[in-house]
Amino acid sequence: MTDHGGMVPSWERKLLSEGEAPDPRFTLANERTFLAWIRTSLGLIAGGIGADAFLTDVPDLQRELLSSLLLMMGGALGVAAYRRWWASERAMRSNLPLPLLGVVGLIGYGVGIAALVLVAVVLLSS
pLDDT score for 110: 83
Domain residue limits at 71: 21-125
Q: What is the mean pLDDT of residues 109-113?
A: 87
Q: What is the mean pLDDT of residues 80-109?
A: 88
Q: Which of 8-17, 22-31, 48-57 bottoms out in mean pLDDT, i.e. has the lowest?
A: 8-17
Asked if 78 and 123 touch (Cβ cutoff 8 Å), the reply is no
Q: Is residue 71 part of a domain?
A: yes
Q: Is residue 4 part of a domain?
A: no
Q: Is residue 16 part of a domain?
A: no
Q: Is residue 42 part of a domain?
A: yes
Q: Is residue 68 part of a domain?
A: yes
- The total of structural domains in the chain comes to 1
Q: Is residue 58 part of a domain?
A: yes
Q: Is residue 49 part of a domain?
A: yes
How far is it, in rounded angstroms, from Cα 79 to Cα 112?
20
Q: Is the pLDDT of residue 76 over 50?
A: yes
pLDDT confidence tier of residue 1, bands split at 50, 70 and 90: very low
User: What whole-number percentage of the chain has pLDDT above 90?
Assistant: 48
pTM for this predicted structure: 0.78
Q: Is residue 112 part of a domain?
A: yes
Q: What is the mean pLDDT of residues 23-30?
A: 93
